[in-house]
């Protein structure tokens, strides 16, 4: 038996090739693509502007996969966390953060992760496998469906800190996803073969119709892959999880640094093709008593000052079995103020979704323990 092709793995040019390979006209691909992403078609039967014969043929060689969440938890602040079971029994999470009608969706790129950052819960699951392009895109489509059915209540759509383009204040629609961040489970640059086609589908005007200005890829610092991403998808936003300001500490808490030390990582940030006024987001997980002093803040500033930057401070989210502690409020405030006073754009992530274990890998951890 030959396996059927999941059409959600194919950006438009690949879908054209697939249909041409079956002797079909090229324009059919655009019709099918629009049915899938704009009409959310689940089957070929629904594609009424396509002949019955072709629909039947397609259903013999192709499928349109889908994800349905098995658990959705909503936090007091409107944050929604989705757990998606996959066809092989694995599962991944996505988190929706509604802020002033500008919904940001954080999606996963792998089941588990191979990067083994010492503070990260996902890292303790190790890498099970890469997500397919379809599984990445389907997280977005499932949340989009949920948002149409259950738009966030206006009272929950509170003001707060968010990663957003500061040069664009247009209000978002409460039922639409505005920003996609690849900051969920996994290292997206460790799965570029599937992440790149997924981004192409996200930003295709006939696909999910997101602006590439609103897609952010977050990496722990895989330097060669940063180059590849920049070459293949210029204009995408880059976030780098820095988390330490010396190679000594970074080697310890993020093993990737032993392959690509700070100097090389920062050089890759300088070379990343950021258009116009855009900035690299430096994420900095604050670990109490480990990297949260003013000395760290000073070194951080020195490291990033010649790169267009903004800083995302993330107070460490404690989890069982991990020895690190959250920083004190005073340490967070002092670090934040030090950078602000020196004209750095800083956002300190409040622990949104803290009440629903929305931090990296935590819902999955919780359900698997049960």
Task: Closer to ligand SAH by CB, 133 or 317: give it.
Answer: 317
The nearest distance, CB 260 to ligand SAH, in angstroms, is 13
CA distance 61 to 55: 10
Choice between 73 and 283, CB closer to ligand SAH:
283
Among residues 359, 363, 364, 365, which is the contact residue for ligand SAH, using CB under 6 A?
A: 359
Task: Pick the closest to residue 220 from 166, 268, 149 (CA basis).
Answer: 268
Regarding 103 and contact with ligand SAH (CB under 6 A), the answer is: no
348 binds ligand SAH (CB under 6 A): no
Question: Is the Cβ of residue 35 or residue 125 nearer to ligand SAH in the bound state?
Answer: 125
Q: Determine, following the binding rule CB under 6 A, whether residue 241 of this chain makes contact with ligand SAH.
A: yes
Query: Min. distance of Cβ 174 from ligand SAH in angstroms?
Result: 25
Q: Tokens at residue 143, please?
A: 């949340």
* Dist. CA 138–CA 74, nearest whole Å: 20
Could you give the angle at which helices 192-203 and 12-21 cross, rounded to 10 degrees? Answer: 100
Contact positions with ligand SAH (CB under 6 A) in 169-198? 183, 187
Q: Pick the piece of the chain touching ligand SAH (CB under 6 A) from 11-19, 54-62, 77-85, 114-122.
A: 114-122
Question: By the 8 A CB rule, do 170 and 183 touch?
Answer: no
Single out the residue of 7, 64, 120, 140 in contact with ligand SAH (rule: CB under 6 A): 120
Site string for ligand SAH, 130-169 (x = CB under 6 A): ----------------------------------------
Q: Which of 64, 208, 220, 226 binds ligand SAH (CB under 6 A)?
A: 220
When binding is defined by CB under 6 A, the residue of 219, 237, 245, 348 that contacts ligand SAH is: 219
Question: Which letter, b or e, does each residue of 218-250 get, where b requires 16 or more Cβ atoms within 10 Å of its Cβ?
Answer: bbbbbbebbeebbeebeebbbbbbbbbbeeebb
Which are the contacts of 368, defined by CB distance < 8 A and separation ≥ 6? none
Cα distance between residue 320 and residue 89, in whole Å:
24
Stretch that binds ligand SAH, among 14-22, 157-165, 195-203, 213-221 (CB under 6 A): 213-221
- Binding-site member from 360, 363, 364, 365 for ligand SAH (CB under 6 A): 360
Outline where 247-310 has alpha helix (H). 247-253, 256-259, 262-271, 294-304
Rounded to an integer, what is the distance from CA 166 to the centroid of its chain?
19
Specify whether the CB–CB gap between 42 and 66 falls below 8 A. Answer: yes
By three-state DSSP, how is residue 81 classified?
A: strand
Active-site positions read 93, 360
Nearest-approach distance from CB 218 to ligand SAH, in angstroms: 4
3-state secondary structure 189-211: HHCHHHHHHHHHHHHCCCCCCCC
95/98 Cα distance (integer angstroms): 10
Q: Minimal distance in Å, beta carbon 154 to ligand SAH?
A: 29
Tell me how far the alpha carbon of residue 279 is from its chain's centroid.
17
For residue 243, the minimal CB distance to ligand SAH (Å) is 5
- Select the span of 23-31, 34-42, 57-65, 117-125 touching ligand SAH (CB under 6 A): 117-125
Residue with tokens 């999910």: 208
Q: Which of residues 280-319 bind ligand SAH (CB under 6 A)?
A: 283, 285, 314, 316-317, 319
Q: How far is the CB of 15 from ligand SAH (least distance, A)?
A: 28
Q: How far is the CB of 187 from ligand SAH (least distance, A)?
A: 4
CA distance 287 to 193: 33
For tokens 């992760």, name the residue: 113
Closer CB to ligand SAH, 62 or 107, in the complex? 107
CA distance 152 to 169: 20
* Cα end-to-end span (Å), the chain: 38
Task: List the one residue from 139, 237, 243, 281 that touches ligand SAH (CB under 6 A).
Answer: 243
The binding site for ligand SAH (CB under 6 A) comprises 119-121, 183, 187, 218-220, 241, 243, 283, 285, 314, 316-317, 319, 359-360
């Amino acid at each position: 038996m030959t396996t059927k092709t999941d059409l959600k793995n194919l950006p438009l040019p690949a879908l054209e090739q697939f249909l041409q390979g079956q002797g079909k006209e090229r324009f059919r691909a655009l019709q099918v693509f629009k049915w899938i992403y704009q009409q959310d078609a689940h089957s070929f039967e629904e594609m009424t502007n396509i002949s019955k014969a072709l629909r039947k043929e397609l259903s013999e060689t192709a499928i349109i996969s889908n994800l349905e969440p098995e658990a959705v938890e909503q936090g007091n602040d409107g944050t929604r966390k989705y757990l998606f079971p996959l066809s092989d029994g694995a599962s991944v999470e996505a988190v929706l953060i509604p802020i002033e009608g500008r919904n940001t969706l954080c999606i996963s790129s792998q089941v588990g992760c191979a990067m083994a950052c010492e503070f990260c819960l996902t890292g303790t699951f190790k890498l099970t496998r890469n997500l397919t392009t379809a599984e990445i895109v389907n997280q977005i489509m499932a949340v989009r469906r949920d948002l149409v059915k259950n738009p966030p209540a206006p009272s929950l759509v509170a003001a707060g800190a968010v990663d957003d383009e500061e040069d664009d204040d247009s209000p978002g629609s409460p039922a639409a996803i505005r920003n996609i961040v690849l900051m969920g489970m996994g290292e997206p640059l460790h799965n570029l073969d599937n992440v790149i086609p997924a981004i192409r589908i996200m930003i295709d005007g006939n696909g999910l119709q997101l602006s590439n200005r609103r897609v952010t890829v977050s990496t722990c610092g895989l330097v060669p892959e940063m180059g590849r991403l920049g070459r293949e998808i210029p204009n995408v936003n880059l976030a780098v999880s820095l988390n330490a300001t010396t190679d000594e500490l970074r080697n310890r808490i993020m093993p990737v640094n032993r392959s690509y030390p700070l100097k090389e990582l920062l050089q890759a940030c300088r070379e990343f093709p950021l258009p116009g006024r855009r900035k690299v987001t430096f994420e900095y997980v604050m670990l109490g008593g480990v990297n949260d002093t003013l000395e760290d803040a000073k070194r951080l500033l020195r490291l990033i000052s010649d790169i267009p930057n903004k800083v995302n401070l993330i107070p460490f989210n404690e989890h069982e079995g991990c020895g690190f502690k959250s920083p004190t409020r005073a340490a967070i405030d002092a670090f934040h103020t030090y950078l602000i006073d020196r004209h750095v754009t800083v956002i300190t992530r409040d622990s949104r979704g803290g009440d629903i274990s929305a931090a990296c890998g935590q819902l999955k951890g919780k359900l698997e323990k049960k």
